[in-house]
């Protein structure tokens, strides 16, 4: 069960979450997001010092901008959350980065887009379809994922909170790899409740 905590920003909070049994720490570089990480040395150093692999989240950014940010912040993974092409994903993956491609889901028909990214991404991230890019705070109907027959493993996101542990443990799919946790574990935008995460994570990792 991969646990990714996304939307981190504040240095002290990054250090607190970094000490938890999480697998990936996510940092948003989308200017319209209230969780966007400032491009300054204080925040760059905090991300670079993260012991867990750092994931940079981008929305329709130019590849050269993603690469510049990845180098400055020490990112090892790139999450593409917009309408980026399979070719862009493949090119960035060839540069040595792990790639997570987000697919917005409302119905089973939305899974058709996932087929285009076979072989271009290490993981897909199925998130709740909404007007913006993530951050809806709503969970989509995971039963629609029964229709997913691709080979790329996936994470689920959208509306996960401390009350979802049993739902996560019950969910079964051969390609289900883990969860992406964000606003449901916040005390304020970009401030994660480390105590709540510490209690939640062991619950979903129990066999």
d(CA 122, CA 152): 7
Could you tell me which of 35, 40, 34, 83 has the C-alpha nearest to residue 55? Answer: 35
Q: What is the DSSP string of 30-66?
A: -TTSTTBPPSSHHHHHHHHT-SSPEEEEESS--HHHH
Question: Tens of pLDDT along 84-100?
Answer: 999 999 999 999 999 99
Segments in the chain forming alpha helices (H) = 11-18, 41-48, 63-73, 86-94, 165-170, 194-205
Question: Tens of pLDDT along 68-87?
Answer: 999 999 999 999 999 999 99
Question: Tens of pLDDT along 4-34?
Answer: 999 999 999 999 999 999 999 999 999 999 9
187 pairs with which residues across the strands? none
Residue 170 has pLDDT above 60, yes or no: yes
The residue-averaged pLDDT of 149-171 equals 95
**Counts of helices then strands in the chain (DSSP H, E):** 6, 10
Residues 60 and 89 sit within 8 Å (Cβ to Cβ) = no
d(CA 194, CA 192): 6
β-pair type (191-192, 186-188): antiparallel
Q: Kindly give, in sequence order, each residue whose CB lies less than 8 Å from that of residue 50, ignoring residues fewer than 6 positions away.
A: 14, 18, 25, 74
Alpha-carbon 9 to chain mean position: 14
Q: Kindly give, in sequence order, each residue whose CB lies less than 8 Å from that of residue 161, ignoring residues fewer than 6 positions away.
A: 184, 185
Residue 60 falls in which region: left (phi positive, over 0), alpha (psi -120 to 50) or beta: left
* Averaged pLDDT of the chain: 94
d(CA 207, CA 203): 9
pTM assigned to the model: 0.95
Q: Give pLDDT, residue 181.
A: 97
Q: Give pLDDT, residue 136.
A: 53
Q: Kindly give, in sequence order, each residue whose CB lies less than 8 Å from that of residue 119, ignoring residues fewer than 6 positions away.
A: 90
């Amino acid at each position: 069960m991969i646990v990714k905590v996304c939307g981190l920003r504040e240095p002290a909070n990054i250090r607190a979450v970094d000490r938890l049994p999480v697998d990936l720490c996510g940092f948003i570089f989308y200017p319209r997001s209230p969780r966007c990480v400032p491009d300054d040395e204080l925040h760059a150093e905090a991300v670079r010092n993260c012991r867990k692999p750092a994931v940079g989240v981008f929305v329709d950014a130019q590849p050269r901008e993603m690469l510049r940010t990845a180098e400055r912040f020490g990112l090892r993974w790139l999450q593409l959350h917009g309408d980026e092409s399979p070719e862009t994903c493949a090119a960035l993956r060839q540069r040595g980065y792990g790639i997570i491609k987000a697919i917005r889901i409302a119905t089973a028909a939305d899974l058709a887009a996932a087929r285009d990214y076979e072989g271009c991404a290490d993981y897909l991230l199925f998130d709740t379809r909404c007007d913006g890019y993530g951050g809806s705070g709503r969970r989509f109907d995971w039963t629609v994922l029964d229709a997913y027959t691709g080979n790329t493993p996936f994470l689920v996101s959208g509306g996960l909170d401390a009350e979802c542990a049993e739902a996560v443990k019950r969910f079964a799919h051969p390609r289900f790899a883990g969860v992406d946790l964000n606003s449901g574990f916040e005390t304020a935008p970009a401030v994660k409740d480390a105590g709540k995460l510490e209690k939640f994570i062991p619950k979903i990792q129990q066999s």
